[in-house]
Structure 1
Amino acid sequence: MPRIDLDAYVAANARSWVRLEELVKQRRRTGAEADELVDRYQQVATHLSVVRTSAPDGELVAHLSSLLGRARISMLAARVPSWRGVARFFTEQFPAALYRLRWWWLGCLAGNVLVTGIMMIWLAQHPAVEQNLLSPEQVDQLVNNDFESYYSENAAGAFAAHVWLNNAWVSALCIALGILGLPVLWLLFQNVANLAIVGSIMVRHDRGDLFWGLILPHGLLELTCVFVAGGIGLRLFWSWIEPGALSRAAALARAGRTAVTVALGLAVVLAISGVIEAFVTPSPLPTWARIAIGVLAEVVFLAYVFVVGRAAASRGETGDVSATLLEDRAATQA
């Protein structure tokens, strides 16, 4: 881009900078003034980009950067969550993030299901391992009492909250520790190992119908959420191993922001799973009805990802935060 006459450029645009300064200093704004603040912010961000590219003046760049920084803080402070924003999150950002990253969590899901199946078959064929893990009395207590009573020994509401907190914590750990890679694999292995051990014991003692009847209603959606978190965590790890065209810092930042989107959405999905576990799993409904509810919940989630998420992604939604919340960048033309 050719150099510009800086004095002329300042004279032409100084009024916009002064107006943005005035809007930033206002404690209260009307709706029109709030809209003007956003418009002026974007306008001055473009001015800053032009100055940086065509007539880099340190003092002016510092002034405009400071002004934009204060404007951004002002916009964030005035940003009040609305039903429209919540609706956009669940119809655009969250499903788009799930869809765009589908191969990561679908691979995680398939791998964990395969490992669980192999472990259950192997453990069922090697009863000596069971004897090393639990005493005969503990096995008897698990098979005849503990496994079933776990779902009904506490009040449903309190149990739902406990389950939600536990699963949300595991999912959050999978995402938060994703940057390190290996801890995510360890968390996932612990999760499926416990499932495989209990499942093999129940099946070997002819209580497989009880095991599957109590696990499947809530477990399909619950474990899918955990595997989604694991896949997103591994994607976060891979973002700094193989950043592509971005710098490692930029790639990690973008993956991290999308991971936060997924974590927030999963908290809601896990709450639904917790309600199913507390109110449906121990209910007197026939086994086929309870499992059908679990299958329906899983189908609805997958449809949400591959119908709503695919549509949102096709409209350009990425699951990242709004561009207005990122650092001041504006495209300019020569």
Structure 2
Amino acid sequence: MPRIDIDAYVAAHSHEWARLEELLRERRRTGATSDELVDRYQQAATDLSVIRTSAPDAQLVSYLSSLLGRARVAMLGTRVTRWQAFGRFFTHQFPAALYRLRWWWLGCFAGNVVVLAVMMWWLGDHPEVEQSLLSQSEIDALVKNDFENYYSEHAAGSFATQVWVNNAWVSALCIALGILGLPVLYLLFNNIANLAVVGAIMTRYDRGDLFWGLILPHGLLELTAVFVAAGVGLRLFWSWIEPGGLTRGASIAHAGRTAITVAMGLVVVLLVSGIIEAFVTPSPLPTWARIAIGVTAELVFFAYVFVVGRAASRSGATGDIADDLLEDRVATQA
């Protein structure tokens, strides 16, 4: 690019920079001024690129860099604090991500249900296994008191928080370690193995009705959330094994950003399951009523994915971050 007359360039564009300064000083912006802020930002970014390339001036580069930094913060702050953006996350980004990744987490769901059933059946035929894991006194305590008391021995509010944090941690590990693949399978196996052992023991001692009556109200939604996290984690692993038409870096980046979207949404899903576990599971409601609440919560989640999520996906939502938030794209002419 040929060198430019820096004084002439400043004279031609200084009024645009001044207008950007003016927009940044406004405390409240309308939709029109917010759009203008974006336009002025993009033009100033182009100006900075031109000056750096053809007539580097340290003082001017510093000024424009500072101006763009303030504008970037202002634009991001405007976006993330709008209720509209908050609502769009739960009507478009999160459900679209769930829907587009449905085969991954539905596969985890189905696989784990099969593994749970097989393990409980096998443990039922091999009582010596449970005896190698727990003493007879521990088994008696579990069957008679401990399993049932677990859901009511703490205040409901603190118990809901404890459950929420624990399940969020397990889900976060599934996503965070997903890039490695095997740790996700290990976490899932441990989760299902513990459930199978307890379920087999309770069933052997004719307490299966109590076991399922306490597990199903919250466990349906809770385990579904864990399976979603595991499926998303495994998809992240697959993104670098088979990047498709993208470069391996771009594939991992896209899958990672979508995983963050799912992780943020699952916080709310797990909050709901934690509330059910703390307030519904140990409640004096009839067993059928407690299970009905759990089944309803699960059906609402699936409707959210396959009705709201499908519609969001068809409208173009992917669960990824909006393109204009990913990076500054500046067009310059050579």
Instruction: Determine if the TM-score, normalized by the shorter chain, exceeds 0.5.
Output: yes
Q: Which of 29, 32, 35 matches 1:31?
A: 29
Distance of aligned partners of 1:16 and 1:318 in 2 relative to their CA distance in 1, 3 Å threshold: farther
Q: 1:113 Cα deviation (Å)? A: 1.0
Which whole-Å CA distance do the structure 2 matches of 1:224 and 1:43 have between them?
A: 47
Which whole-Å CA distance do the structure 2 matches of 1:247 and 1:19 have between them?
A: 41
Could you tell me which residue of structure 2 aligns to residue 193 of structure 1? Answer: 193
Distance of aligned partners of 1:105 and 1:46 in 2 relative to their CA distance in 1, 3 Å threshold: farther
For 1:111-150, what aligned pairs fall within 5 Å after superposition?
Answer: 111-150=111-150
Q: 1:329 Cα deviation (Å)? A: 2.7
Q: 1:251 Cα deviation (Å)? A: 1.5
Q: 1:189 Cα deviation (Å)? A: 0.7
Instruction: Specify the code of the residue in structure 2 equivalent to 1:288.
Output: W
Could you tell me which residue of structure 2 aligns to residue 310 of structure 1? Answer: 310
Q: Tell me the alpha carbon deviations over residues 227-274 of structure 1, each in whole angstroms, 9 at most, x when there is no partner.
A: 000001111111122222222222211111111111111011101001
Which whole-Å CA distance do the structure 2 matches of 1:246 and 1:45 have between them?
A: 27
Instruction: Specify the code of the residue in structure 1 equivalent to 2:193.
Output: A
Could you tell me which residue of structure 2 aligns to residue 18 of structure 1? Answer: 17
Which whole-Å CA distance do the structure 2 matches of 1:260 and 1:311 have between them?
A: 21
Could you tell me which residue of structure 2 aligns to residue 163 of structure 1? Answer: 163
Could you tell me which residue of structure 2 aligns to residue 298 of structure 1? Answer: 298
Which whole-Å CA distance do the structure 2 matches of 1:197 and 1:238 have between them?
A: 31
Contact kept in structure 1, 2:179 and 2:233, CA below 8 Å: yes
| Pair 1:233-2:233 in alignment | yes
Which whole-Å CA distance do the structure 2 matches of 1:216 and 1:233 have between them?
A: 25
Greater shift, 132-141 or 78-87, is seen at 78-87
Contact kept in structure 2, 1:108 and 1:227, CA below 8 Å: yes
Distance of aligned partners of 1:21 and 1:85 in 2 relative to their CA distance in 1, 3 Å threshold: closer
Contact kept in structure 2, 1:164 and 1:271, CA below 8 Å: yes
For 1:151-300, what aligned pairs fall within 5 Å after superposition?
Answer: 151-300=151-300
Q: Tell me the alpha carbon deviations over residues 89-147 of structure 1, each in whole angstroms, 9 at most, x when there is no partner.
A: 11111111101111111111111111111111101111111111111111111111101
Q: 1:14 Cα deviation (Å)? A: 3.8
Distance of aligned partners of 1:292 and 1:77 in 2 relative to their CA distance in 1, 3 Å threshold: closer
Contact kept in structure 1, 2:17 and 2:44, CA below 8 Å: no
* TM-score normalised to structure 1 length: 0.87
Q: Tell me the alpha carbon deviations over residues 7-38 of structure 1, each in whole angstroms, 9 at most, x when there is no partner.
A: 8xx799846863576358x4445415443211
Could you tell me which residue of structure 2 aligns to residue 325 of structure 1? Answer: 325
Matched residue SS, 2:91: helix
Matched residue SS, 2:177: helix
Contact kept in structure 1, 2:236 and 2:255, CA below 8 Å: yes
Matched residue SS, 2:153: coil
RMSD value, Cα = 3.1
Greater shift, 296-305 or 315-324, is seen at 315-324
Distance of aligned partners of 1:57 and 1:106 in 2 relative to their CA distance in 1, 3 Å threshold: farther
Q: 1:86 Cα deviation (Å)? A: 1.6
Matched residue SS, 1:31: coil
Which whole-Å CA distance do the structure 1 matches of 2:19 and 2:195 have between them?
A: 58
Which whole-Å CA distance do the structure 2 matches of 1:41 and 1:154 have between them?
A: 54
Unaligned ranges ≥5, structure 1: none
Contact kept in structure 2, 1:156 and 1:278, CA below 8 Å: yes
Distance of aligned partners of 1:120 and 1:75 in 2 relative to their CA distance in 1, 3 Å threshold: same
Contact kept in structure 1, 2:240 and 2:252, CA below 8 Å: yes
Q: 1:179 Cα deviation (Å)? A: 1.3
Unaligned ranges ≥5, structure 2: none
| Pair 1:82-2:78 in alignment | no
Matched residue SS, 2:115: helix
Instruction: Specify the code of the residue in structure 2 equivalent to 1:18.
Output: W
Which whole-Å CA distance do the structure 2 matches of 1:178 and 1:85 have between them?
A: 28
